[in-house]
Amino acid sequence: MIWFDQTKSAQAGHRSGLTRVSTRLREELGSAATGVAWGPWNRAAQAGDWFLTAELFCEAERPGFWAFLRQPPCRLAAIFHDAIPLKHPAITWPQSVSRHPEYMKMLASFDRVFAVSAASRDELEGFWRWQGIRPKAPVEVIALGADAGAGPRRVVPLVPARPALLCVGIIEPRKNQAFLLEVCESLWRDGGEFDLHLVGRVNPRFGPPIEAQIRRQARVRPGLQFHGSATDARVAELFAGASALAFPTRAEGCGLPLLEALWLGVPCVCSDLPVLRENAAGGGCRTVPLEDATAWRGALREILFDPGLRAGLAREACGRLLPTWSDAAAFLRSSLAA
């Protein structure tokens, strides 16, 4: 039996990457897992069972968790996302910054830990070495699904009616929408005719200035459209009309938008980060140095206005072998059964 932790994801009012990971894995594990929330569920657990969590936690949020780790009722497995709160504390919720070191220490007590990328694995293992912590088990890498649940895999490239970029992600400094707006503004000033669609909820602490910038710019640039939160179906519609996904992010644990773009046959122009290179290297993507305005301007101009280049990248995207959430769930079942 897998006791699947849904303490936060079952009540989440927004569709963050962490929520998507928990939700899609729970769906694909099906009858192999039983959803639980932190509390007395563990009275029913047996020694041969697994407690599996993809959530973030600490003692203050889950009183008694350290005691639970010292004397667990069953075996423990966790999915680790990233160390972003430690690497970028100035643009991360203070609660997340204060929680994360304890959370990463707690993971060393788990019997199995799965990182969402090799880069995240290296960050976690590096943190343990820095803290002098000896974990119970080495960290494995799990490939997250590219299928967002918004339709079947696209195997034939689409030809957008009008050049358009799509940027998907929470509106906050880490996702770097302000930088993308500046680059696109320079292209518009030079006479480039294209649309830019921004999709994402607004981080209530860090996002309002960026949202204000988006709305100011949209008043003078009709091609700029802000969609806020959107359903998977709506995002799939926007992908269908996009020349490329623009992903200028500063930091990621995996980079699900890149994978989801490839699933829908849309090329991606992304920051040249180690974590994104892991999935970009297989084709369909252009990696660009982080916040290099000249390089980003050139890459976006090419993908928007060079049909041959875009078509070649789209064919690569459509032809790639991509992981699914079913694959991820099967990997977990197999790993936990070993």
How do residues 162-176 score in pLDDT, each as one tens digit?
999 999 999 999 999
Same domain, 214 and 295: yes
> Mean pLDDT score of the chain, rounded to an integer?
93
Which residue do the tokens 């959430």 mark?
325
Same domain, 85 and 222: no
Q: Which percentage of the chain shows pLDDT scores above 70?
A: 97
Same domain, 68 and 126: yes
Positive or negative: CA dihedral 103, 107, 113, 115: positive
Alpha-carbon distance 40 to 316, whole Å?
A: 49
Of 153-167, 217-231, 295-309, the range with the lowest mean pLDDT is 153-167
Same domain, 128 and 218: no
* Residue 153 forms part of a structural domain: no
Task: Report how many domains make up the chain.
Answer: 2
* Residue 159 forms part of a structural domain: no
In the chain, what's the furthest Cα-to-Cα distance? 66
Q: Edge to edge, what strands does the sheet with 268-271 contain?
A: 224-228, 195-199, 164-168, 244-247, 268-271, 285-288
Angle at 119 between CA 55 and CA 23, to 5 degrees: 30
Same domain, 124 and 168: no
Of 5-14, 47-56, 325-334, the range with the lowest mean pLDDT is 5-14
| Selection from 211, 199, 258, 205 nearest residue 96 by Cα | 205
- % helix, strand, coil for the chain, step of 5: 45, 15, 35
Distance of alpha carbon 207 from the chain centroid: 18
How do residues 241-257 score in pLDDT, each as one tens digit?
999 999 999 999 999 99
- H or E stretch covering 79: strand 75-80
Of 156-160, 237-241, 302-306, the range with the lowest mean pLDDT is 156-160
Same domain, 77 and 178: no
pLDDT of residue 184: 98
pLDDT of residue 228: 86
pLDDT of residue 41: 72
Q: Is 172 exposed, middle or buried (0-12, 13-18, 19+ CB in 10 A)?
A: buried
pLDDT of 155 higher than 80:
no
* Residue 157 forms part of a structural domain: no
Same domain, 137 and 207: no
Three-class DSSP category at 199: strand
Same domain, 87 and 110: yes
CATH at residue 197: 3.40.50.2000
Which are the contacts of 267, defined by CB distance < 8 A and separation ≥ 6? 243, 244, 245, 261, 284, 285, 286, 303, 310, 313, 314, 316, 317
Whether the Cβ atoms of residue 225 and residue 162 lie closer than 8 Å to each other: no
* Residue 156 forms part of a structural domain: no
Alpha-carbon distance 149 to 15, whole Å?
A: 13
* Residue 83 forms part of a structural domain: yes
pLDDT of 13 higher than 70:
no
* Residue 155 forms part of a structural domain: no
pLDDT of 19 higher than 90:
no
- H or E stretch covering 338: none
Which residue do the tokens 């009012």 mark?
13
Same domain, 90 and 192: no
Same domain, 95 and 12: yes
Whether the Cβ atoms of residue 250 and residue 80 lie closer than 8 Å to each other: no
Same domain, 180 and 266: yes
CA dihedral 188, 193, 199, 201 (to 10 degrees): 30
pLDDT of residue 40: 75
How do residues 288-312 score in pLDDT, each as one tens digit?
999 999 999 999 999 999 999 999 9
Confidence of residue 154 (pLDDT cuts 50, 70, 90): confident
For residue 199, the cross-strand partners are 168, 228
Domain that holds residue 44: 2-145+324-337
pLDDT of 324 higher than 90:
yes
pLDDT of residue 151: 64
The pTM of the full predicted model, rounded to 2 decimals, is 0.94
* Residue 186 forms part of a structural domain: yes
Confidence of residue 152 (pLDDT cuts 50, 70, 90): confident
Q: What is the identity of the amino acid at 155?
A: V
Same domain, 309 and 192: yes
* Residue 300 forms part of a structural domain: yes
pLDDT of 14 higher than 70:
no
Of 44-53, 202-211, 283-292, the range with the lowest mean pLDDT is 44-53
Give pairs for 184-190: CB < 8 Å, separation 24+.
184/224, 184/300, 185/217, 185/221, 186/293, 186/297, 187/297, 187/300, 187/301, 187/304, 188/221, 188/223
